[in-house]
Amino acid sequence: MTAGGSTCTPVLVGGQVFGSVLVLHSERPGAVERRLMGESVTQAAPVLANLRNLARAEERALTDAVTGLPNRRAVAEQLESLVARGRRTGEPVALIMADIDHFKRVNYTYGHDKGDDVLGSIAIVLRSTLRESDFVGRFGGEEFLLLLPDTDHLGALAAAAKLHNMIGKSHMPGLDEPVTCSFGVAAFPQHAPDSETLLRRRRPGPLPCQGERAQSRGVGGGDRAHAQLTARALGRRSTPRGNRTPATSVKGWRANRYTMGAGR
């Protein structure tokens, strides 16, 4: 304690220090003032500890234990918030579903611990590749949900192509084969008027043919799929289907009509 300065009082709960209270004053406090400060901190300590524990419990309830990413509940809450903001501001919101190909085979061949390592590695790639403003969460199992504010369908498609490329370049220690992902893309308000409908639309639809499925979804066989997606995203192919613009099935890299120029 210094004269005309400040007084720092530790916050103790169960004999453990979990914080401190700093009081600034212009004059050196007397014995009565110091006693009152100590009593106030002592009375407030249990309340502060409970608030901290509640905050930690809430954080754990919204965090996936394997990847450290937000879990399904947190993703749903964030999506609802972004769609509500987009409805007010008119800004689009894009959603990308990333699904690890043949993940059950990884668990069966290498064990669940190695499967958890793959989930963690994919989570790092997704988070490090996207913008700071984007949101990445584990939706469940081998699925990750990515939310891209102020991004339209075309921007999400370009982001999915970039993610596919980065995942393909990643090395998974202990695996004898590369890991690939398939993607489903949808956007608000282009494909859905609300968050619940947008979640339903994010799943990829049927593929044009089984041959394309085999080549695009086979482990290590995503190069052609990535080339198809990139070519269509750059507008080298334009195949509109009627007057509707359905949610893109990037699982199998099926796209309907894209021209680069909006979004990312």
> Which residues are known to be catalytic?
142
Give the DSSP H or E segment for 31: helix 31-61
Peptide bond into 189 cis (omega under 30): yes
With tokens 């596919």, the residue in question is 164
User: Tokens representing 162?
Assistant: 């970039």
Beta strand residue intervals within the chain, DSSP E: 6-13, 16-24, 93-100, 135-140, 143-149, 181-188, 248-249
DSSP code for 203: S
User: Tokens representing 130?
Assistant: 């996207």
Separation of alpha carbons 218 and 181, rounded Å:
10
Separation of alpha carbons 44 and 90, rounded Å:
45
Q: By the 8 A CB rule, do 16 and 53 touch?
A: no
Taking each helix axis as running N to C, give the angle between helix 103-110 and helix 112-129, from 0 to 180 degrees, rounded to the nearest 10. Answer: 140
Q: By the 8 A CB rule, do 95 and 197 touch?
A: no
Q: By the 8 A CB rule, do 142 and 167 touch?
A: no
Beta bridge partner(s), residue 24: 6
DSSP code for 256: S
